[in-house]
């Protein structure tokens, strides 16, 4: 098992920013009973649903990109355990080994794009860092790519009051002239694109890699747990539109299985964040690489 893979000419590397508190299965997947969980206890940790707040480094011939940026530096005392500074975690991933000790060389300079699957707090937390109350982009040379439907939804007055992270980690990107708001299918580089996958949020999107005859999909919150590969109708309680989330998940998992896509899922446990959809005894299952 590994948390990195190569898709044609593209390398995908998983990093974990934070481990939040575990949750009761019945609370996370509302309406799913203990009996329904019976065949899937392997996907629970101590009987709980344990998420991991992850992000991905994607290295392409056209430049390096981040897909999502984790929960951010916090502090988040009520949200779980920090696993370290994501910025420092990705440093050895982005820089050659002989440069990792050179403090004059910044990971920020290596990232050309930051692509957001959606705008929840655990996916935008390292967009900006603050000194003296002023925002500065964590990845100063990058274009930050955001889905339009999410941007329109979360920047309304009502949503800004409910989700203060939007004002802190999203809206300043516009003033800094770093954001690019996209909708529909959007080609980022010759090998990487975005595709709409709404349901979890109004503008949720997946990131597609198509290189050297191979394909991969970075799913964002299309999947929170490997159990949803077998049970795509199980929707997270926080999904904006559960019926749509189910439909889109079913469609994309079916296509991934038929075409042999590699899947990257940042909320899965380390060691299982990169894998494939396979069929066993008439059910789809998650198979880590």
List the pLDDT tens digit at each of the 289 positions of the chain. 458 999 999 999 999 988 999 999 999 998 999 999 999 999 999 999 999 999 999 999 999 999 999 998 876 655 655 555 777 778 777 776 655 455 555 667 789 999 999 999 999 999 999 988 899 999 999 999 999 999 999 999 999 999 999 999 999 999 999 999 999 999 999 999 999 999 999 999 999 999 999 999 999 999 999 999 999 999 999 999 999 999 999 999 999 999 999 999 999 999 999 999 999 888 899 999 9
Asked, as a colleague might, if the bond just before 75 is cis with ω within 30 of 0, I would say yes
- Within 8 A by CB and 6+ apart from 222, the residues are 197, 199, 200, 204, 206, 245, 248, 249, 252
**Model pTM score:** 0.93
Tokens 């969980």 sit on residue? 37
pLDDT of residue 100: 47
- Give alpha helix (H) positions in 125-241: 148-154, 157-162, 165-169, 172-175, 227-230
Give the strands of the sheet with 214-218, arranged side by side: 186-187, 192-196, 205-211, 214-218, 262-264, 274-280, 283-288
Task: Please name the residues in contact with 254: beta carbons below 8 A apart, sequence gap of 6 or more.
Answer: none
- pLDDT value, residue 99: 53
Would you state the structure tokens that stand for residue 264, as one six-digit string?
């990257």
Confidence at residue 136, expressed as pLDDT on a 0 to 100 scale: 93
| Superfamily the domain 4-288 falls into | Ribonuclease Z/Hydroxyacylglutathione hydrolase-like (3.60.15.10)
């Amino acid at each position: 098992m590994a948390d990195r893979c190569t898709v044609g000419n593209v390398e995908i590397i998983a990093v974990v920013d934070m481990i939040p508190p575990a949750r009761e299965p019945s609370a996370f997947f509302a309406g799913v009973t203990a009996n329904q969980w019976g065949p899937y206890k392997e996907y629970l940790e101590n009987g709980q649903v344990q998420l991991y707040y992850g992000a991905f480094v994607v290295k392409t011939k056209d430049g390096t990109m981040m897909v999502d940026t984790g929960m951010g530096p916090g502090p988040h005392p009520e949200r779980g355990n920090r696993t370290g500074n994501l910025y420092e975690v990705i440093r050895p991933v982005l820089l050659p080994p002989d440069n990792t000790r050179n403090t004059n060389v910044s990971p920020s300079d290596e990232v050309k794009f930051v692509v957001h699957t959606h705008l929840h707090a655990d996916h935008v937390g390292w967009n900006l860092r603050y000194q003296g109350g002023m925002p500065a982009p964590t990845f100063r040379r990058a274009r930050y790519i955001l889905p339009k439907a999410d941007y329109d939804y979360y920047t309304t007055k009502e949503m800004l009051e409910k989700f203060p992270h939007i004002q802190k980690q999203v809206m300043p990107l516009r003033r800094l002239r770093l954001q690019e708001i996209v909708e529909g299918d959007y080609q980022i580089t010759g090998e990487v694109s975005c595709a709409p996958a709404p349901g979890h949020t109004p503008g949720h999107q997946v990131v597609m890699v198509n290189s050297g005859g191979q394909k991969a999909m970075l799913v964002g919150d299309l999947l929170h747990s490997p159990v949803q590969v077998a049970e795509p109708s199980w929707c997270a309680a926080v999904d904006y539109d559960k019926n749509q989330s189910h439909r889109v998940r079913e469609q994309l998992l079916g296509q991934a299985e038929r075409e042999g896509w590699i899947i990257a899922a940042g909320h899965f446990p380390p060691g299982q964040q990169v894998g494939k959809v396979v069929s066993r005894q008439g059910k789809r299952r998650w198979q880590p690489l």
